[in-house]
Amino acid sequence: MIARAFAALAAALLFLVLATANAGGYRYGVSDQAFYIPALARSIDASLFPRDAPVLAPQQRAWLGDDVVAAVSRVVPVDLPAMAGGLYVATLLLLAGAVVYFLRGLKASWWAVAAGLAIASLRHRIPETGANTLEGYFHPRVLAFAIGLWALGFAVRLRFVPALALTAAAAVVHPTTALWMGIVVIVAACWRVSPRTALPIVLIGAALAVWFGVSGPRMDDVWLAVIAEKGYLFPLTWPAWAWTINLSYPIVLWLIYSRRVTMGRTMPGEAGLIAATLILMLGFLVSLPLTALHVTIAVQLQITRVLWVLDGVTLLYLAWWAVDDVAAGVGLRWRGAAASLLFIASFVRGWYVVTIDTPRPLVARALPADDWTAAMRFLQSQPVGIHVLADPGHAWMYGSSVRVAALRDTVLESVKDTAMAIYDRNVAMRVGERVQALEGFASLPDDRLREIASRYHADVLVFDRSRPLDFPVLFENARFVIYDVR
């Protein structure tokens, strides 16, 4: 028992390190956390972001996780960097456990389970969907996927009540990811009762899709222009190579399942699981005309993310096939060799990512101690209502957004604001107008900057000190100057 517990702990720690390395190292406050951190902060302290609340609100209304954190904060203090780090670790450990539970539900050998963990540690993007299997920061979507994979493990064992309970829990964390996992669980449960019961679900879904296509509201050209760069929303514009990979998931999955049938290795809940994933793929294909017609709800649901579910299930089936079929067919000792090779590949790739491709520490649990963070710390010390004008691309240029690093309103953060524009037309109009007004920001003359600050009621301007501006200086360091533009 002690030896087994030690082995499980060692495997979990190894997965944690490899997954983090392959994701480019853990970093706080980057990428999609440009929404999640301000949303959490605003739930804890409602006085924050008085100007940017309309931008955050549409996506925040669909997310229940911030309400949970706000409730916790009323009992115990919440430190956002510590919480994000803890949730990141919990996400990866839950994901590792889900991989083990799912594969053991298929009666995979422990060597196949090891192979599945190695594959799961290899971060990759589902082609053209905008979704990565892992992120180098806490993302609710990955946590919801981990919980959903546990639900699929229960479904394979015909334990549908806990499976549905887990998908409900995942819905609190990330609603759309839970939705796709929930569809798989529900269809698998219906399939267990009788395969014929799945047919009405498909027909009802198709009928609803047609109804939405005919009568549902659609995004107009002005709205679409703001989110045009989000190509993952519109699958019919994807290149052929992306379609080739994404369409291969159901084919590979079916072939491996057929092989398991031939070998007599299938489990009681497996047929329903496979049928459900194939129906999920069918639902994605049915949605293609809806996104092409720019039906609002179809675009906002980002139905392309169902391919992540197929990717995850298919890769775990591949782990079983590679180890318990191909390698075992050569000789039982080759199963260990196959799993070891996959772990070596994960280690080498992770080492390459964090030492050569994007050299950085494996873990950065707080914002870096650099000039940008110092400038943001000064702004955080200012009144809550202060409105910050900075380069629209500041989040990717300097590593974190004003909303994350300073917890203050900003006129525009172009990368995340255009993503949040997906969920509300008014937000899209606001973002589109500001993108146009701030174009060429770094080279705008003083009088134009003064006019922009006046138009959007900005209080301060953050600018690179390499170009001095004719405004009163509030703060400066080696790289940035914060000007008073009131």
**C-alpha 339: how far from chain center:** 27
pLDDT in tens, 264-305: 999 999 999 999 999 999 989 988 988 999 999 889 999 999
How wide is the angle at C-alpha 348 spanned by C-alphas 345 and 349, nearest 5°?
85
Residue 331 scores a pLDDT above 80: no
pLDDT digits (tens, 9 = 90+) for 423-465: 999 999 999 999 999 999 999 999 999 999 999 999 999 999 9
pLDDT digits (tens, 9 = 90+) for 334-378: 888 899 999 999 999 999 999 999 898 999 999 999 999 999 999
Encode pLDDT of 71-113 as tens digits: 888 888 889 999 999 999 999 999 999 999 999 999 999 999 9
Tokens of 195: 């395969």
pLDDT of residue 214: 67
Residue 198 predicted with pLDDT over 90: no
- For helices 65-73 and 160-173, what crossing angle results, to 10°? 80
Residue 409: which residues within 8 A CB-CB, separation 6 or more? 49, 50, 51, 52, 385, 386, 387, 388, 402, 403
Residues 6+ apart with CB under 8 A from 448: none
Instruction: Between 337 and 480, name the one with better pLDDT.
Output: 480
Per the CB < 8 A criterion, the answer to whether 129 and 304 are in contact is yes
User: Residue 377: which H helix or E strand, with range?
Assistant: helix 371-380
State pLDDT tens for residues 386-431: 999 999 999 999 999 999 999 999 999 999 999 999 999 999 999 9
pLDDT tens, residue by residue, 28-52:
999 899 999 999 999 999 999 999 9
Cα 396–Cα 397–Cα 400 angle in degrees, nearest 5: 55
pTM: 0.94
Average pLDDT of the chain?
A: 92
Mean pLDDT calculated for residue range 201-210: 72
H or E element, residue 475: strand 473-476
Residue count of the chain: 486
Question: Mean pLDDT, to the nearest integer, of 139-164?
Answer: 97
> Cβ(7)–Cβ(31) under 8 Å?
no
229: pLDDT strictly greater than 90: no
Confidence band, pLDDT 50/70/90 cuts, at residue 330? confident
Q: Please enumerate, as own/partner, the contacts of 57-64 that have beta carbons within 8 Å and a separation of 24 or more.
A: 58/420, 58/423, 58/424, 58/427, 59/35, 59/420, 59/423, 62/175, 62/423, 63/39, 63/140, 63/174, 63/175, 64/171, 64/172, 64/175
Of 66 and 141, more confident: 141
